[in-house]
Each structure stands twice: as C-alpha cells, then as structure tokens.
Amino acid sequence: MSEVMVDSVVTSSDFKAETIVDAVRHVVGTPNGVLGLHEPVFAGNEIAYLEECIKSTFVSSVGPFVDRFERMLEELTGAKRAVAVVNGTAALHACFRLAGVEPDDEVISPALTFIATTNAIAYCGARPHFVDSSLATLGMDPNALAVRLGAIAERTARGTINRETGRRIAAISPMHTFGHPVALDEIAAIAHDWGIALVEDAAESLGSTYKGHAVGSRARLAALSFNGNKIVTTGGGGAILTNDEELGRRAKHLTTTAKLPHKWAFVHDEIGFNYRLPNLNAALGCAQLEQLEGFLASKRRLAAAYERAFAHVPGVRFSREPKDTTSNYWLNAILLDEAHAERRDDVLTALNEAGFGARPAWTLMHRLPMFAQSPRGDLSVAESIERRLINLPSSASIRPRDE
C-alpha cells in the first residue's frame, strides 16, 4: 500500500448520513429542486459574441473567435502555443500521437481517472498501464510510479520496456483530479530519468497552479477540456498546450485534417483528424475566459465554506488543495473515513434525496471490462478513495450562506 490510512474513532452507529446532509445545507442552503453537481454560469458576453459569430456566418471550423480563444488560453496559462479542438478527449488523443505513442505501446496513467484518459490511449492502439493515486492529491502518486517502474521497467535501445509484457512504455499521463495538481516535479523527474514522454491531463484544472505556474504551462504536451460541466465551457471543446513551437504547428496541422494551406486546393499530406473547434463554440469560450478570474474566486470561497462546515463533522475529511498548489476546486470532494466506506451509498442517497446533486468517484479503470486485463501495480489507495469519495455541488454560481 502506497499510503497509510487510519480508521476513524467514530463508531458505525454514531456515523449518520443526515449529519453530512446538514453540513452541505449549512453551506448552500435548501435547494429549490435539484442543485446540480456543476452547472455552467453565463453572465458575460456569451450572447453578444454568439450573435456576432452567427451574423458573420463563420460558425464552423474557421473564424476569428477560434484564433482569439487560442491566444487567450496562451495568455492565461503562459503556454507558448494553444490549439483548440473539439473536446478534451480529442486533445488527449492528439497529445499521445504527438508524443509518439504507437500501437501496442503502453501508457502509464492513474486507475482513478475519467475514462477519457484511458480511451485516448486506446485510440492510439496502445495499452493503459495503471498506477496508484495519492491521498494528498487524489492524482498519480510519484512514489507508486517509481516503485512500479523499478519493478517492471528496463532501459533498452528501443526505449523503456515493460519486461513483463515486452511492450514499450511510451508515455506517462498524470491527471489533476478535480482540479488538485499532482506532484508534477517528482513525476516529471521520474519520466525524465526513464526517458518516457510526459503528457499532462489537465482537463479538469484550468486555473490551478503548481508552484506558482499554471498547470499545463511547463509541459511539453498537455490537454484541457471545456465540456459543459467544466469551470469554463465552450459547450464541448478542448485544447492542446505546448511550449514547443514545432509541436504546436504539428498539433494544429494534425487536428485540422492534415490539410496543406492553399486558397482552394484540398491536399492532405498524412492521416489527420477533424478535431477542429467550431467558431461558434470558440465564441462562447472567449466570453467564458473573460470571467475565469471571477469563477475561480467564487469556487475558492465555496471550497473554504465546505472546509469550515466539515471541520467538525466526525468520520469525514474535506479534500483540500495540496501543498505548493492552488486548486481551481473544480469539484469539491469529501472522503469518508475507511471505517465508514460501506456507508458511502447511504450518504449519496441522502444527499440526492435532499436535492443535492452529489456523486461518487469514477469506477476505477481496471474494473471496466475493456481494461480489466491491462497491466497494473498495487492500487490499494485508489481503491480506498473509490470506496469513500463523494463529490458535492460545486458550481461557481453557488454563494455560501455564511459569507
């Protein structure tokens, strides 16, 4: 086991789901209907920009809002190049391709992640290889990563090989779970020592920082998502971030059907992908990015209110940002003590019946039938997190009652 977990001193009979419901109600009030897990906020120039886009007739894959959206992302993140694409999964797929992931390679990723990470690996014809998570970050544990590579990996002329499968380990892809940055320096150092490409899954973490730098801003390749439930949305959308100008040029080429620039000729020089973000979606994204600072401030106030509310609730711990980071707190999370893990579904039922759109963590990837045979290390911490984590309503529009 990667980390030690201490059972609660609260007895099972003393642990009550209603106490957790009361704590959430203390923060957000009594909902009128259902308070969703993460609802978008449209309070800026969304309508004006959409109207401008429609009147221009450039609503599809080219237009000035796409260019503006990419430049805004570069300015906000500090990355040298941002390439807008149709969704976060497409961004990850392109990142893996750009990193050199080939059929029958392996990509190391956390078992505790949204399926997009793992699907994007499979789209390359590669195999996911799962490692454990950290209780501190909820993301990839660098210690577990180092132990796993030490046990199965070998440097060869072909690259780093998994001795047990004979496959090349082509990439490592940490994901910033619910907006909490992973221990990037440690993971990057391990990737460098083994000669393995690092692809940062920053889909959930726009606005989060690690040691003062925006996540994804120092990576050779990183992916963002702008799905309807993200802190900033384009309806559906994503982006590739890179600090390598040539990789940025190639990312744009690969995701725009690999078409060579020409006024009228349709010449494509390789198999590319129609992953272009429509101008209409980019218009929405520009208006959303203008409000990011306010969204972040609102979400941090909500997280602080949840942390205060759960500080004295027995048997429960609020998941706060790790050391040396600022989290966007995309989704607020509580962890039941291990002794009460079997009560998770009781708590989820009580919360949802009270009108709070709470949910559990994702099913771990190695439990899904299509990835059940994938190589993996010890996953005991991820399995513990899965048993006892609950996400709470986290929209930027929620104003804590104790403000």
What pLDDT score was predicted for residue 11? 62
What pLDDT score was predicted for residue 8? 47
Closest CA to 50 of 288, 291, 293: 288
67 vs 83: CA distance, rounded Å: 9
Output phi, psi for 251, to 5 deg: -60, -45
- What order do you get walking across the sheet with 127-131 strand by strand? 81-85, 238-242, 221-225, 197-201, 169-172, 106-110, 127-131
Output phi, psi for 91, to 5 deg: -60, -45
Q: What sign has the CA pseudo-torsion 259, 260, 261, 263?
A: negative
Q: What homologous superfamily does CATH list for 17-41+292-392? A: Aspartate Aminotransferase, domain 1 (3.90.1150.10)
What pLDDT score was predicted for residue 5? 46
What pLDDT score was predicted for residue 9? 56
Sequence-separated (6 or more) residues with CB below 8 Å from residue 220: 99, 197, 198, 242, 243, 244, 247
Q: Greatest CA separation found in the chain? A: 73
What pLDDT score was predicted for residue 4? 43
What pLDDT score was predicted for residue 14? 77
Give the residue extent of every domain in the chain: 17-41+292-392, 46-289
pLDDT in tens, 28-81: 999 999 999 999 999 999 999 999 999 999 999 889 999 999 999 999 999 999
What pLDDT score was predicted for residue 6? 47
Low-confidence ranges of the chain (pLDDT < 70): 1-13, 403
Domain 17-41+292-392 and domain 46-289 have a common topology: no
What pLDDT score was predicted for residue 12? 65
C-alpha distances (whole Å) from 271 to each of 250, 253, 305, 316 are: 12, 10, 50, 51
State whether CATH 3.40.50.150 applies to domain 46-289: no
